Amino acid sequence: MIQKRKVSDINPNHRSDGKSPAQRRAAAIKAAKTRKKRRGDMTVFTLDIPAKLLREFEEEVVEKGAYSSTSSAIRAGMRMLKLAQRN
């Protein structure tokens, strides 16, 4: 029977921090709550678009527009569209 290793052969420092499974779970839950709090009132959704369109958007809008990420460029575009529709 194959036994589960306590320390990885590839990375000997992996999970050798002395945390129990319960402590590790508690830390993961705390980290998830922190991420959610920092995200604010954001909704995560999936957008399926062709790879070519995404690549062009990132090259022409994200990089040239000095956005920090594709997500921030899409949010800015949505805000601009909303403002344009009001006028």
Is 1 a domain residue? no
Is 20 a domain residue? no
Is 77 a domain residue? yes
Cα–Cα distances in Å, from 6 out to 2, 11, 12, 23, 52?
Answer: 13, 11, 9, 16, 45
Domain of residue 73 covers 43-87
Q: What is the 3-state secondary structure (H, E, C) of 40-68?
A: CCCCCCCCCCCHHHHHHHHHHHHHCCCCC
CA 85 to chain centroid, in Å, comes to 30
Per-position pLDDT tens, the chain of length 87 = 666 655 556 666 665 667 888 999 999 999 999 988 887 788 888 999 999 999 999 999 988 888 888 999 999 999 999 999 987
Nearest to 61 by CA among 49, 52, 74: 74
Is 70 a domain residue? yes
Helix, strand, or coil (residue 83) = helix
Is the pTM of the predicted complex or chain greater than 0.85? no
